[in-house]
Structure 1
Amino acid sequence: MLRIATIGMAAALFVGTLTATPALADGTASIVLAAQAASVDPDHPTTTITGKVVAADGSPAASIPVDLSTNTGWGSVTDATTDADGAFTATLSPNGESDSVTVWADVPSLGIHSEMVAVQVVHGETQTTLLASRTDLDEGQPLTLSGQVTYQGRPLSGRAVFIDPAVDPSRCTSPMYTFRANTDAEGRFSTTIKPSCTATYVARTPAAGFYEGSTTTLPAVSVRPATTTSLSATMDAYGRFQAQGALYAASAGGDVNGKQVLLEYSPDGRTGWQTIRRMKTSQGQFSASFTVNTSGYWRARFAGDTAAAPSVSPVRKTWRWSTSMSKLKASPTRVRKNHYITVSGTLSRYYSSKKRFGAFPGQKVRIIFRFRGKKTWYHVKWVKTDSKGRYKAKVRAYGNGYFAATFAGTSDTWAAGTPNDARVTTYAVPSPGGRSGPPPIMTVLPWRDHQ
């Protein structure tokens, strides 16, 4: 049977000789114990324990059971039975958890005990290697780390390997954890991860059994942090377009500054993307405003650089349907100053369901006027289109000049204006106290050629 036992501190400190010589006394049985090898190592993990039992009368104690013991948790030793010469052998198998083990023997039938014999444990020096499948990648891409654990060039199977990533905390806010791999029959290990930051990797093989631990360091694997690009886009009925967004890298601390972001346009949102503006981020933000006069789709794209990975925003649609105003009619075109004339026209819009233009009823149309030779337009009157898109207004002729009509658009249609200015000529002088002119419009938005 195998036997292990715990020994006291005083006994554990006794490691003097390989052979314990019993104290001899007349008429007393004795036992002697020895270790065939002074030490064990990975190539010679066991040693033979030999001994001899002498009876009280000095004759060999034959066929006597001998119980052998060793330190608890440090290995095992077999029991033995003496032969005709009183000799016996046993096998001591240290497990490598200590630098030395002791063994001793008991002969219960004779009531005798041996001295302890110490055997040194020599641990083998291991080697661990570590390689990376690539030296640079983008966050979220796989990285395979592999290597081998050997002893004197021979593979060690079943060994645990712990790989510790070391990152710069000022550049990486995403946690990276230690991960474990195990060696196969050829001593090789491999694991695939998706690192979030640039890191240096240290592979640790802990000491186990007859083998010492070993470490190796892999130079830094560069990881470009993933970015996200956001975009919002609006366009009013006059084609005034505004875009704003942000460039963000969560694993690198947030806002990405000083980067160029491209604002791109496509007529169908799938193909034909064109760069319309180049914007630079400040505190992670970017923006642009200009007049586009066309419906379509927009996206913001960061092309990436050595410090950050590329990203593209969701596609945003800014779409308005075409509107059209007929030529403005004025009657009469010659009238006494401050007397009234009638202006009229029609407003239509494009209907996608019908794939053609049709009447645009119930819409407000503004009648405006400017004096001949002047650039300032004046508001005259609001009028609403009827069920057939027609409008008509009775307006005062303030002097020689031009009338026009404008439509400010809706949430999904363009603004429009009459393609002509209806000229009106006035004569005579207004009576004292008569009205001299309409209220001015401070700003008249352009309405022609906006589509």
Structure 2
Amino acid sequence: MSRRGKAVKASLAAAALGAAMLLAPTAAHAEIHDAQLTSAFDRLSHDRVAVFTLKAKSSDGIVDVQGTVRNPADAAPYAALSFTLVDGTNKDGTWQATLQTDIEHHPGANIAQATLRSADGSTLTPAAAFVDCYLTSVTDVEYAPKTIDIEHPDVTYQGRVMVQKYRDEPLEPAEGATVKAGNGSARTGADGGFAFTATDPSMSVVVARQGALCGNSASAPLTVVKQATVTTAQVVSVRPTAEGADITVHGTVMRRGSAGLVPVSGLSLTVDYQQDTAGAAAAPAASGDWWPTTRADGTFDASFSVTRSGRLAIETPGTFYLTGGSVDLGTVDLSRSARISGLTYAPRQLAYRGSLEVTGNLVGDWGAIAGAPVSLEFSTDGKTWTRAASSTTTASGGFVFFAADDRTKKDGYWRVRYAGDALYKPLVTAPTFIDVRYGTSIAGFNASPEPVKKGKSLTVKGQLFRFMDKKLAGPNAPVSIYFQAKGSSKWSQVAVVKTASSGWFSKTFKASKDGTWMASYNGSANYLASNKPTDYVDVK
């Protein structure tokens, strides 16, 4: 119990007025029940006789009641009690015993214990307490000064301790009694007087129960002028570990003294760390010094381990002489770094209304990040972005997106976003430009006649189409004609022809050797290259 601002409890004095207590039985049987022993003791009477009343029930009947008195409870008995049935029967009755107290030899707390035995041999041992002491009072209390602070804490107390032994007799001085207030104390003189100085005072003057004297106290309220504390602190180290991070904080606590700031030593502070549990169950702090104590120069260090990011503050408690406070150190970000490896967009030149496939792996400082939501975003200008697709990473951190909608009808920028979580920071990949072009195809390709006689004419023809919102002829487009002689692996470009408005093209050659003919539209800024159909011609 704190000595400041709290009333001194006089529990023994209350017990002396006859409050009873029931101790656990040495042998519990259902044959004896509802047993209760109480005491009545008038501390101011001349006879100073304690009366003990026992109430109990037994279906077989109580055949014997004995009693003893101890002082204190763990001492050997110093007196025997003789109980007599005064009301009821031995199956439901009241027994009483008396004791002539001896305050000279057995002052203070006394324990009376009754032992009940029933006809079947079961026993029960209820108990009751009484306190034998003379009533004391603390009078004529004076103290000065009545207003103190941490720089002027000394208080001088004086007064008298008086004792009343009997109701019809006046108070008399209590000589030799110990009186305390805070860390100061004195023994009373022959007149019961005391005087002493406490360098660490309290709000009351106390006489504890001692010898034949009961305990008592007197109020001595003080006005305490508290000085403000100034706490400064900073995070000086954050060392990441596989489990979280070790954090070190250094700071200082000063008080605003009359001559300026003064260090506060021996003050126990509290580290308040509210961990960020967004998206995860609360993760308690692992270990560390959460209650650092200031040194002689007011400085302190706190080192502790945490598993998640959180908000950090140092709490300075208020004391008898000082105000409390706190310093907010803000959020400590322990999020780990994530990255996307092997990011691939295919194809990089995308056919109009084609399918764009995006693949990659989400990994963090400690390996693959599994089960994480990732999204694919699209922008026509690299500034305004919309979500095109969503996915969740696999056990190995992999993901794949397929985009095939209106976004693949136009050029644009693509990127992958990971929103992050309580353990990992968010990330967005650099924009990647995807060029969308209209697809093309050559149909009806044919080299004829075949076979053909050497030196005769051979015509190569076909039709070029382009694919926009529908299939259209490809007019005025250059188509390259290639020839590969039989037995050769080399293609040779032999002509470039323009397509007609219908997309058809043709070119006549003089047949000279066996071989394969091929046509190809090689694409442009707006169109993808076509397929490359071939036709073999036998020259005789």
TM-score, normalised with respect to structure 2: 0.34
TM-score, normalised with respect to structure 1: 0.39
Q: Which has the higher contact order (CA 8 A, sep 6+)?
A: 1
